[in-house]
Amino acid sequence: MTRLLVTGSTGFVGRVLCADLARRGYLVRATVRPGRERPAGATEEAVVSDIRGDTRWDSVLEGVDVVVHAAARAHVLNDAAANSELYQEANARGTQGLALAAARHGVRQFIYLSSVKVNGEWTGSRPFREDDAPAPKDAYGSSKLSAEQLLAEISARFGLHATIVRPPLVYGAGVRANFLRLLRWVDKGWPLPLGAVENRRSLVSVWNLSDFVGHLVEKSESYGKVWMVSDGVDISTPELLRRIGAAMGRRVRLVAVPESALRLAGSLLGRREQINRLCGSLVVDISSTRSMLGWEPPLDLDTALKRTVTWYEEQARGDRGT
């Protein structure tokens, strides 16, 4: 039986990955921090503290065929530039150390969950493609690019088959940060000044992302390449809010405030990045993923949003003690 090591297994994406890969019949070994419980689906665990360049992996990789590296120092909005070294240590050198150890242990495939932020922050006249020149704009995106470059070097030197995935915004049960904020806004019924926004955004549900990773395992066509992934539907922020509202059974009140006014307000209130994400476009092209790998997103956007809303409402009821 093929044994997979999943890092970041207790995180938002990692938990779904472990359960999904186990359903596909794989033996899943999950890395967990000291004192954390093994996620559902994992049949084995390996205790690993912080992932750094000097993390020891030998015992963890014993008998492993495929590594799915989902652990990372996550992007934080408005994170201080001084923290760039922390991103490099965890995301770049941590990945390098794991990949070198994987090569030593004869691991067949190394699947790395990178980020579309390697490509950049915003798209213009056309979507981002996997062969575009990288243009990260922050420390997180730069660290992910460094990790990809280090993986390419290790693959060339030692024959490790690396597969890189660049997802856009991931949402689903357990989501945090900006997407959770959207859910709360709709839930509270506040008037939202986003009715005039005409952007386009690619998203990927955690379930579609997990399905894609499962699709990649042992698929030799993916070796040595970068792949874009999304739900296959690109929508505006107002349309996303309306669809969340439909999933909640709530009317979304959108006020048409000019984008220029929103961006000015964001600058004055110190929320420029947040407004940019609500108004800007970021679209990925998954045509190569579809044609070369034969993959289609199994879950449509509205179904994935409904699942996400169901989780959100269950959490809200729990917080109220009902």
Give the amino acid at 221. Answer: E
Q: To the nearest 10°, the Cα dihedral for 305, 311, 316, 317?
A: 130
Tell the residue number behind the tokens 């066509």, with chain if given. 221
Q: What is the pLDDT of residue 242?
A: 97
Q: What is the pLDDT of residue 274?
A: 87
Q: What is the pLDDT of residue 80?
A: 60
pTM of the model: 0.95
Q: Which of 26, 87, 140, 171 is catalytic?
A: 140
Q: What is the pLDDT of residue 322?
A: 52
Q: What is the pLDDT of residue 29?
A: 98
- pLDDT tens track for 29-72: 999 999 889 999 999 999 998 899 999 999 999 999 999 999 99
| Average pLDDT of adjacent 10-residue blocks, the chain of 322 residues | 96 96 97 91 93 94 97 74 85 97 97 98 94 95 97 96 97 93 95 96 98 94 96 97 97 94 89 89 97 97 98 79 56
Q: What is the pLDDT of residue 315?
A: 84
Q: Over the range 217-246, which residues count as b (16 or more CB within 10 Å of their CB) and which as e?
A: beeeebeebbbbbbbbebbbbbbbbbbbbb
Strand stretches in 27-97, DSSP E: 27-32, 44-47, 66-69
> Strand 226-228 to strand 169-171: parallel, antiparallel, or no bridges (unpaired)?
unpaired
Q: What is the pLDDT of residue 79?
A: 64
Q: Is-catalytic flag, 140?
A: yes
> Strand 234-235 to strand 201-205: parallel, antiparallel, or no bridges (unpaired)?
antiparallel
